[in-house]
Amino acid sequence: NLDFHIFLFATNVLTFLKTFYFVIMGNELEQLVATFLGVESSMIFGMGFATNSMNIPALVGKGCLILSDELNHTSLILGARLSGATIWVFKHNNMQSLARLLREAVCSGQPRTHRPWKKILIMVEGIYSMEGSVVRLPDIVALKKKYKAYLYLDEAHSIGAVGPTGRGVTELFGLDTSDIDVMMGTFTKSFGAAGGYIAGKKELVDYLRSHSHSAVYASAMSPPVTEQILRAMKCIMGLDGTTVGQARVHQLAENTRYFRSRLQEMGFIIYGNDDSPVVPILLYMPGKVVAFSRAMLKRKIGVVVVGFPATPITEARARFCLSAAHTKAMLDQVSAHTHTHTHTHTHTHTHTHTYRHTSLSLPLSQLNSLSQFI
């Protein structure tokens, strides 16, 4: 009986300490994220995909309108569908298409009743992972203000990767974060961890704490993951007393410009913004996608290729996501082998067309890093 009571006491103590640790570390991370982004408040979630899919239904519902970029991530699309709101899709990064839909929404209202929409929510990404393109944020903010809409910005691939201090596309364009109603991001890329966040005004975060399925029903982020994010974010912010984080942000920007210029010099057609560390190239012939991947693997370079049905059948691609850990020698090696292999398989053509997308391209010996960008 004594042993049982000791065991029961120890279990209760450990459970209390675990819960205490969850709360303390979670609160610290949420405060740090808010400080990093320059917003009033934030909240964290254990899964990046669920951060979108489970929070969007808490923000909009029946009688609301979502204007979604046609190349938005699946998590955004799923969240929009689960919400019950009406969804209109505008052409990728096309401000004329978005403006036309906004005018129609404001002038015509809801179908059949023509009542005003309860909310109009514009959903975009900071960097589009399959295109390498950067959102035209200043134009979207201007349209949002003009038509009194709300803006939901997914910075999964841009936070920690672009901007002078790695604070994402808002910093890249020099915009005030108060112009973004809902700021979302993940910790799976630049922070080498897992999970995601929602940030913005305190009223928004307080509302989500009691209405979001991801906040109410999902489990909390584990302490080891929380600690990893805390240390990575403090490093980027320089709160660890070093300049390592900022050096990596600058190195990533340098690697991005260098690798893109190398591919352009070789005659490849690459897509995306010059500041985007996601560098997609078109493989031109759908039948050589697998061959390209295997040939690069034989040269000890790990490359992710994407083809139909994930892309249109004529737009199979390889996607390079650059990292601050890459050296110029590595990038030269990758570009040289890419050039050699694509020309080897296109000898019947006068030139090679290259388009958009490779996910990770590192010598296999370097693939031990959990971080995609930093």
Over residues 202-219, the pLDDT tens digits come to: 999 999 999 999 988 888
Q: What is the pLDDT of residues 174-203, one digit of tens each?
A: 999 999 999 999 999 999 999 999 999 999
Pairing mode, strands 150-154 and 301-302 = unpaired
Question: Helix axis angle, 289-298 relative to 328-344, nearest 10°?
Answer: 130
Residue given tokens 């994402």 in the structure block? 168
pLDDT at 365: 37
Q: Is it the case that residue 121 has pLDDT exceeding 50?
A: yes
Q: What is the pLDDT of residues 253-298, one digit of tens each?
A: 999 999 999 999 988 878 889 999 999 888 877 788 888 889 888 8
What amino acid occupies position 135? V
Q: Is it the case that residue 63 has pLDDT exceeding 70?
A: yes
Distance CA 141, CA 94 (A): 13
pLDDT at 313: 82
pLDDT at 317: 87
Q: Please work out, in degrees rounded to the nearest 5, the angle formed at the alpha carbon of residue 205 by the alpha carbons of 137 and 105.
A: 45
Q: Is it the case that residue 56 has pLDDT exceeding 70?
A: yes
Average model confidence (pLDDT) across the chain: 86
pLDDT at 366: 38
* Helix segments in the chain, DSSP class H: 2-37, 48-53, 56-59, 74-83, 95-108, 137-146, 169-172, 202-211, 213-216, 223-237, 244-265, 289-298, 328-344
312 preceded by cis ω (within 30°)? no
Q: Which two tokens stand for residue 16?
A: 């209390």
pTM of the model: 0.85
pLDDT at 369: 34
Least confident of 99-103, 118-122, 232-236, 340-344: 340-344
Among candidates 190, 194, 126, which has minimal Cα distance to 154? 126
What amino acid occupies position 311? T
Among candidates 319, 373, 372, which has minimal Cα distance to 130? 319
- The structural domains of the chain, ordered by start, are 2-237 (3.40.640.10), 244-366 (3.90.1150.10)
Report the 10 Å Cβ neighbour count for 100.
13
Q: Is it the case that residue 359 has pLDDT exceeding 50?
A: no
Coil, strand, or helix at residue 288? Answer: helix
Average pLDDT over residues 145-150: 97
Average pLDDT over residues 129-133: 89
What amino acid occupies position 143? L
Q: Is it the case that residue 343 has pLDDT exceeding 80?
A: no
Q: How confident is the model at residue 315 (pLDDT cuts 50, 70, 90)?
A: confident
